[in-house]
Amino acid sequence: MVGWAVLRHRLERSRESLQRSIGALTFALLAAIVVLPGACAESPAVLGIDLARLDDDGLTGPPDGRRALDYEFCIPEAERYRDEVARIDPSARFFPRSRGRIGCRSHEVLVLGNTHQPGFSAILLSLARLPYVTRIEEAFFE
């Protein structure tokens, strides 16, 4: 006969294993939707970041040199758009008079974000679904 403590331990391990599997599957599905532009009608923006390069912490690179990716995109110059993006992406920084490498126009605001944050892939997918975001690219600084 199995004791309650043993049974509880087995159930907890099974639950954790199931959560990891669901998490991995969710990440794989999000990566497929985001990495393959046009794969999802809900996501009109093109995400120019290969999410498969990133680990669970949003880092990439060799084990002795892991780093986060910065990304950039443009939004219309209005407070309501800034507020919406800020609610979705806590890492968002706004630069109203900068074109960035992505080439924001005069009526747009450059937004920079970073992948080293919890839920980075879901954040990027949510940003890609915004109707006014047309492209999200990796940002490079000199």
pLDDT digits (tens, 9 = 90+) for 115-133: 999 999 999 999 999 999 9
Q: What is the Cα–Cα distance from 59 to 113, expressed in whole angstroms? A: 13
Q: Which pLDDT tens digit goes with each residue over 30-41?
A: 544 444 333 443
In single-letter form, the type of residue at position 92 comes to A
Residue 60: pLDDT above 90?
yes
Sorted by where each begins, the domain ranges of the chain are 4-139
Give, as one character, the DSSP assignment of residue 78.
S
Overall CATH class of domain 4-139: alpha beta
